[in-house]
């Protein structure tokens, strides 16, 4: 039986194809074959992208599922370092971390030291911003409101009442705190707050520590003693 003659391969090396438009960048190029839809740069970029996507799919198939430490939702694949929290829980987590860090700084004194050093460096700016805020929001300036009430109340006192009040303040300067009994007293408190109709007369004045004075606010002295058990 006679053997079939071998098929002669066609030689396309000398063939020149018509220029065409690239599918990706829309640039006109001369293809090297009839099936080339993209220019050389776009084809190279597409090949690299397909390789990356294929490698990512293989990595995802081998990856064990991970879950958020707060809401237990399944976590997506992250590039680089992996997070233990999802996108919704991550701000809450870092907010809690910041709160714990501030609490530690407050307990060991670093927070107070930083505040003092900041006030020393930027004292003028802090005072200027405080004055600006008080000018723009006079309704929140509690010190000014208290001084205004004191001026109104002081106008109702006669000379004898003012003299007795002044002497009585000096007389109780070394007394213990009227509410808690501590000896570290820095304030003169009004037993019946001026904001609630009290007066600046001597019989309405008591010695108080700073903590009790700030905690009492505008309460009556009797109500504050019942509240604190003093």
pLDDT of residue 129: 92
Tokens of 97: 């971390």
**Domain ranges (residues) in the chain:** 20-62, 158-228
Cα 95 to Cα 40: distance, rounded to the nearest angstrom: 50
pLDDT tens, residue by residue, 53-71: 998 888 776 677 788 888 8
pLDDT of residue 17: 84
Cβ atoms of residues 33 and 13 within 8 Å: no
Fold of 158-228: DNA Binding (I), subunit A (1.10.30)
pLDDT of residue 229: 82
HSE, CB side, 13 Å, CA atoms: give it for residue 230.
16
pLDDT lower than 70: segments of the chain: 1-6, 8, 10-13, 61-62, 77-81, 151-152, 154-155, 230
Number of Cβ within 10 Å of residue 35's Cβ equals: 6
pLDDT of residue 178: 93
pTM: 0.39
pLDDT of residue 86: 87
Cα 64 to Cα 60: distance, rounded to the nearest angstrom: 8
Cα 181 to Cα 138: distance, rounded to the nearest angstrom: 36
Number of Cβ within 10 Å of residue 206's Cβ equals: 19
């Amino acid at each position: 039986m006679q053997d079939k003659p071998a098929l002669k391969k066609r030689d396309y090396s000398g063939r020149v194809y018509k220029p065409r438009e690239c599918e990706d960048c829309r640039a006109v190029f001369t293809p090297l074959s009839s099936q080339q839809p993209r220019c050389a740069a776009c084809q190279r970029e597409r090949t690299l992208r397909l390789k990356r996507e294929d490698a990512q799919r293989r990595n995802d198939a081998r990856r064990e599922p991970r879950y958020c430490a707060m809401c237990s939702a399944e976590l997506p694949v992250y590039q680089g370092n992996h997070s233990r929290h999802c996108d919704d829980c991550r701000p809450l987590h870092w907010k809690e971390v910041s709160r714990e860090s501030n609490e530690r700084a407050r307990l060991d004194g670093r927070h107070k030291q930083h505040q003092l050093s900041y006030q020393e460096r930027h004292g003028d700016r802090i005072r200027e911003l405080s004055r600006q805020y008080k000018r723009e929001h006079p309704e929140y300036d509690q010190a000014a409101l208290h001084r205004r009430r004191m001026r109104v109340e002081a106008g109702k006192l006669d000379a004898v009442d003012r003299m007795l009040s002044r002497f009585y303040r000096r007389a109780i300067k070394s007394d213990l705190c009227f509410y808690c009994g501590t000896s570290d007293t820095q304030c003169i408190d009004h037993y019946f707050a001026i904001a609630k109709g009290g007066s600046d007369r001597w019989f309405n004045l008591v010695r108080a520590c700073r903590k009790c004075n700030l905690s009492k606010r505008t309460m009556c002295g009797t109500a504050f003693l019942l509240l604190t058990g003093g």
